[in-house]
């Protein structure tokens, strides 16, 4: 008798769960993907993601990069500015590792909708995948690997009694899409302001997503402003030369937290994506970190192995990267969101050194775009 294909149940069809389902189906697993939301609702989030080279490599390996290309906006420069110390650093293509330079961009901005449209379409057409979107899934076979990708509030994580460690930031964050005058589509900005970082991520034809961190109450109050009052407030904080012309969606305020599950696996189950960890959006690391979980699960998922062995190996392998990114983003927020004179001086010196020394720009860009664990290893071709 031919051996039966192994089963995987993926709970949660956000960007992490959907990519996991596709990656494991490609490896020959029989995948059930469930989400309480319908396919339509799963695609309707108004958000854009900063995509790094680590994500590009993963998507490319899965054959998803080419079909996504029309929806990607590449940026050739990333400008960091610190308001309080007037420090400034510009990362350009020459600061990238040589393996990444042939792409011609430091990173990309990708809108949630075309991403989810492609993923759900590929899953729908895949012979190894059964979708239960907005409908209950069948019970998982007793030897199936169970992947919980059900987001930061993960009901599965609670069901498995995995505690989380969390720190709530005083800062929240507000996201919005705007049309900008004076925008150059090839530059992304991260502005460090005493109330919190502000990212301006270029989308196509003079539009951008802003991710504006500030005390949560201010975010809520700004989200409730009329369109013109909101644009006036935004105009006051954008880099010189950029002027917001038009609001393209409804600004939304979110609380921010650093959250880490105490373990990433239990029995045959694994936690993946924001069900396992969540960090501050500074630096646009969130989804890229979630997708590195997918990459690790893909690497350890061997259809000939027991689900428990796979889950245990995954749980052990993900810690360092997740912890390093969480600590780095937390330190960045703490160091830059204030006007304390000694810290302003330290920031100014650091930014001057980075502006002058390419080696420092290369190391920090490599950690941001390939992940901190790649600092000590050669990058895959
Ligand atoms: C304001 C903000 C800005 C951000 N900006 C960026 C950025 O620029 N770049 C970046 O990389 N990341 C960014 N992020 C992070 C990014 O949005 C997340 O990393 C990403 O959404 C995580 O995807 P996920 O699939 O793990 O979780 P989610 O997107 O939360 O998906 C979880 C899914 O699980 C489903 N679910 C819930 N309960 C169940 C259940 N019981 N059973 C089955 N399914 C269930 C939900 O319906 C949902 O579809 C940002 C986050 C925020 C809040």
Which residue would you say has higher pLDDT here, 156 or 85? 156
- Is 55 in contact with 64 (CB distance < 8 Å)? no
Residue pair 297/314 in contact (Cβ under 8 Å)? The answer is: yes
Three-state secondary-structure class, residue 155: helix
- pTM summary value: 0.93
CB-count burial class (<10 Å; 0-12, 13-18, 19+) for 241: exposed
* Best of 55, 150, 158 for a ligand 1 pocket test (most atoms within 8 Å of beta carbon): 150
Determine the pLDDT at residue 137: 95
pLDDT at residue 4 tops 70: no
Tell me, what's the pLDDT at 375? 78
Does residue 277 contact residue 322 with C-beta atoms inside 8 Å? Answer: yes
* Torsion angle of the four alpha carbons 224, 228, 230, 233, in this order, in degrees rounded to the nearest 10: -140
pLDDT digits (tens, 9 = 90+) for 221-277: 999 999 999 999 999 999 888 999 999 999 999 999 999 999 999 999 999 999 999
CATH number of 7-165+257-376: 3.50.50.60
Q: Which residue has the tokens 């009052």?
A: 229
Where is pLDDT greater, at 281 or 121?
121
Ligand 1 centroid–CA 25 distance in Å is 21
Can you give the pLDDT at residue 5?
64
**pLDDT above 90 covers what percent of the chain?**
85
Tell me the per-residue pLDDT of 8-50, one tens digit each, with 9 for 90 and over: 999 999 999 999 999 999 999 999 999 999 999 999 988 889 9
Q: Residues with beta carbon inside 6 Å of ligand 1? A: 11-17, 34-37, 42, 47, 49-50, 149-151, 155, 173, 175, 211, 254, 273-274, 281, 284, 286-288, 290
Q: What is the pLDDT of residue 381?
A: 64
Query: What's the rounded Cα separation, in Å, for the pair 277 and 344?
Result: 30
Mean pLDDT of 352-376: 91
Q: Which of 102-111, 124-133, 204-213 has the highest average model confidence (pLDDT)? A: 124-133
Distance 15 CA to ligand 1 centre (A): 7
Mean pLDDT for 332-357 is 93
Q: What is the pLDDT of residue 46?
A: 82
Q: Is the pLDDT of residue 1 over 50?
A: no
Supply the pLDDT for residue 278: 97
String of DSSP letters for 30-91: EEEEEESS-HHHHT----EEEE-HHHHHHHHHTT-HHHHGGGEEEESEEEEEETTTTEEEEE
Distance CA 117, CA 43 (A): 6
């Amino acid at each position: 008798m031919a051996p039966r294909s192994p089963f995987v149940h993926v709970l949660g069809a956000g960007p992490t769960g959907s990519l996991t389902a596709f990656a494991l189906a490609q490896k020959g697993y029989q995948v059930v993907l469930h989400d309480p939301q319908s396919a339509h609702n799963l695609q309707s989030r108004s958000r854009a993601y900063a995509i790094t080279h680590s994500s590009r490599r993963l998507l490319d390996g899965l054959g998803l990069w080419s079909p996504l290309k029309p929806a990607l906006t590449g940026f050739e420069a990333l400008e960091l500015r610190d308001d309080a110390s007037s420090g400034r650093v510009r990362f350009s293509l020459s600061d990238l590792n040589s393996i990444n330079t042939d792409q011609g961009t430091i990173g990309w901005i990708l809108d949630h909708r075309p991403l989810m449209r492609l993923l759900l379409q590929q899953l729908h057409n895949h012979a190894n995948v059964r979708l239960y979107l907005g409908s209950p899934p069948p019970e998982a076979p007793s030897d199936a690997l169970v992947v919980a990708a059900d987001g930061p509030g993960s009901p599965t994580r609670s069901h498995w009694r995995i505690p989380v460690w969390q720190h709530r930031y005083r800062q929240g964050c507000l996201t919005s899409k705007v049309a900008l005058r004076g925008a150059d589509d090839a530059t992304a900005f991260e502005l460090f302001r005493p109330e919190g970082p502000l990212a301006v991520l270029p989308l196509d034809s003079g539009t951008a997503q802003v991710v504006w961190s500030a005390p949560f109450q201010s975010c809520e109050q700004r989200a409730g402003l009329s369109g013109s009052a909101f644009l006036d407030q935004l105009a006051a904080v954008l880099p010189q030369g950029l002027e917001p012309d038009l609001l393209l969606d409804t600004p939304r305020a979110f609380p921010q937290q650093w959250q880490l599950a105490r373990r990433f696996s239990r029995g045959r189950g694994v936690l993946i994506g924001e069900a396992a960890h969540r960090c501050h959006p500074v630096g646009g690391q969130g989804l890229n970190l979630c997708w590195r979980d997918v990459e690790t699960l893909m690497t350890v998922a061997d259809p000939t192995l027991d689900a428990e062995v796979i889950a245990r190996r995954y749980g052990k392998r993900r810690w360092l990267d997740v912890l390093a990114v969480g600590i780095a983003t937390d330190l960045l927020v703490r160091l830059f969101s204030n006007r304390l004179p000694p810290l302003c001086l330290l920031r100014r010196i650091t930014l001057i050194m980075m502006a002058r020394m390419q080696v420092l720009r290369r190391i920090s860009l490599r950690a941001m775009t390939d992940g901190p664990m790649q600092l000590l290893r050669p990058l895959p071709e």
